[in-house]
Amino acid sequence: MSKAFKPPVHHQSYLDRKIPTTMATQHPDNARAPYWKTNNDPFISTLDEIEECYRTYTDLGCQEYMWDWEGKYVDEGVVDKLFSLYHPYFSENQLGKDVFLTFRLPNIWYEKEYRIARAYIGILTFEELSRDLGLNSPPVFEVILPMTDEAQKMIYLKTTFRKIAKLKSQVFDETMEASDPSYLQVIPLIEGVPQLAASHNILMEYADLHQKEYGSKPSYLRPFIARSDPALNAGFIPATIAAKVALSEYYKFGQESGIAIFPIMGVGSLPFRGGLNPFTVSQFLDEYPGVRTVTLQSAFRYDYPLDSVKEAIHSLNRALPFTKPLTYTEEEIAMGERLAQIFSTIYQETVEEIADAINQISAHIPPRRERKLHIGLFGYSRGIGQKRLPRAISFTGALYSLGVPPELIAIGRGIEAAIKENLEDALFMFCRHLKEDLRHAGHYLNRENLRFFASGNPAWERVLEDIIIAEKYFKLELGPVTTEHYLHRNIVSSIYFLTQEEKDISPYLFDAALLRRSLG
């Protein structure tokens, strides 16, 4: 069985670097307007994000803010503006020492490299500005590489950054004594179920390449586990299992290599995307022990009472450094991989057949940030089989707005298959709070809508079968319980009928999102 893991003892110098525990992000999943906006507009423009970053530190107590260059427009002078507008605060709370700003870069293997060079120049000039102001330098020294699948790509970022730094110094006749151009640290964001399963190998290769290139292994690593895209691509259960296995493998890697490991997990408020919101902190800490930093996305920060948000962030800041990670044996990991295969096969076959309905609704999900289209030169699309799918937030929001939460897809048939292969105990070893998660998602089930869908598409009929099996297995009845749940059910009924008549559903999508406290 899995057991508590005792992390290795590292040199004190490794631990002198403060590791932030709560990372606010720009994920556009909020339904409500931010509490600090005066016009009650839920849309957060690029100009708004400077104030948002500042308030994240000062009002909420988050320790880190992700500045997202991937697939969206971004203010490239962020540090200049923060220092100019809020100089007294950053004089007392040093950026890069007390609070942190971390860039998520575009993945140039999927998205053209136009903006990554601008990000590099920004990081270098921010260092110069900070030094001239007598503040901590460098203020930005970590970058996130999305869709990491090879260690060499992490090294490439460090190498190209160093080249840009040297070129800048040569062009402007600067000495290199003031700073070390190799200070940039790369955070691998690992997003697919197969990639998460292989992430131990990615880290090991990175440590070896780092040793060869720089003469030493990295002093620490913050591997970043995605929860949303793995769920979109493979389903709720496989995403949960993959995250658990990755966590276990990271700590094993840390023990083998002597490198300090501080895993990050990217989670949304609804169970499908990780299930962390201000009301589920205790459950999340028990489900994912060993996570050292969590993302607090827009819905977490803006769709719940402000006092509850602050209290939850305070609790996370106190608890996350001390949760004891679990490790799994090779046999247990093999069972987890088999479970992921079972559930993902059923899920993918089903989603491919209902993708048209998902895409129809997702096109109307209201935008919350200035995103670029994920096509062509500016990004990359998601998909299953022959079908293109929206991003995870819109995907999740569309299915909730249809009254069929994605957590329910494949759950019943997957459980039956797991029982046949004697994997029932393994399922609950990896998914500690599965019943609670299904109950939460099930409150937003609209059974009438699902029956309408099932009458015209056998794939929806199989989802109805999933629900019947799960209800019998867990001895619970899925459906609305509170007034808010019933109101949500009524609104998504309206969405169904208005969609049949090709009428505007946008106001109804917004109202439903308000009730479930997240777009998706």
> What pLDDT digit, counting tens, does each position of 462-489 carry?
999 999 999 999 999 999 999 999 999 9
- Residue 379 falls inside a structural domain: yes
Residue 83 CA neighbour count, 13 Å, CB half: 23
pLDDT, residue 72, reads 82
Secondary structure element (H or E) that encloses residue 466, with its range: helix 458-474
What's the domain count of the chain? 1
- Residue 440 falls inside a structural domain: yes
Instruction: Give me the phi and psi of 183, to 5 degrees please.
Output: -70, -15
pLDDT, residue 177, reads 46
Residue 16 pLDDT class (50, 70, 90 cuts): low
Average pLDDT, the chain: 92
Residue 144 exposed, middle or buried by CB count within 10 Å (0-12, 13-18, 19+): buried
pLDDT, residue 426, reads 98
Residue 67 pLDDT class (50, 70, 90 cuts): very high
CB proximity list for 428: less than 8 A, separation 6 or greater: 434
Secondary structure element (H or E) that encloses residue 265, with its range: strand 264-266
Please give the residue range of the domain that contains residue 411: 332-516
Residue 399 predicted with pLDDT over 90: yes
CB proximity list for 418: less than 8 A, separation 6 or greater: 339, 342, 424, 426, 427
- Residue 40 falls inside a structural domain: no
How many Å apart are CA 257 and CA 402, to the nearest integer?
Answer: 48
pLDDT, residue 192, reads 85
- Residue 308 falls inside a structural domain: no
pLDDT, residue 6, reads 36
User: Tens digits of per-residue pLDDT, 209-260?
Assistant: 999 998 999 999 999 999 999 999 999 999 999 999 999 999 999 999 999 9
pLDDT, residue 381, reads 54
Counting residues of the chain whose pLDDT is more than 70, the rounded percentage is 92
* Pairing of β 64-68 and β 293-296: unpaired
User: Tens digits of per-residue pLDDT, 362-371?
Assistant: 999 999 998 7
- Residue 387 falls inside a structural domain: yes
CB proximity list for 445: less than 8 A, separation 6 or greater: 403, 404, 405, 408, 467, 478, 479, 480
Rg (CA), the chain: 23
Alpha helices in 22-85 (DSSP H): 48-55, 78-85
**383 compared with 264, residue with greater pLDDT:** 264
Cα dihedral 299, 301, 305, 310 sign = positive
CB 294, CB 253: distance < 8 Å: no
User: Tens digits of per-residue pLDDT, 26-37?
Assistant: 999 999 999 999
**279 compared with 73, residue with greater pLDDT:** 279
**Within 10 A of 112 (CB to CB), how many other CB atoms are there?**
12
Q: Which of 322, 399, 385, 394 lies closest to 365 in space, CA to CA? A: 394
User: What average pLDDT score do residues 302-317 get?
Assistant: 98
CB proximity list for 480: less than 8 A, separation 6 or greater: 443, 444, 445, 486, 488, 489
Phi-psi group of 502: left, alpha or beta (phi > 0 → left; psi -120 to 50 → alpha; rest → beta): left
Residue 184 predicted with pLDDT over 50: yes
User: Tens digits of per-residue pLDDT, 100-133?
Assistant: 999 999 888 876 666 788 999 999 999 999 999 9
User: Tens digits of per-residue pLDDT, 405-461?
Assistant: 999 999 999 999 999 999 999 999 999 999 999 999 999 999 999 999 999 899 999
- Residue 319 falls inside a structural domain: no
pLDDT, residue 76, reads 94
**344 compared with 382, residue with greater pLDDT:** 344
Residue 377 pLDDT class (50, 70, 90 cuts): very low
Residue 173 pLDDT class (50, 70, 90 cuts): low
- Residue 427 falls inside a structural domain: yes
pLDDT, residue 17, reads 67
User: Tens digits of per-residue pLDDT, 332-365?
Assistant: 999 999 999 999 999 999 999 999 999 999 999 9
How many Å apart are CA 219 and CA 17, to the nearest integer?
Answer: 10
pLDDT, residue 73, reads 84
Residue 273 CA neighbour count, 13 Å, CB half: 29
What are the angstrom distances between the C-alpha of 493 and each of 7, 411, 447? Answer: 51, 23, 10
What are the angstrom distances between the C-alpha of 373 and each of 70, 117, 225, 274, 381? Answer: 11, 20, 24, 25, 9
- Residue 268 falls inside a structural domain: no
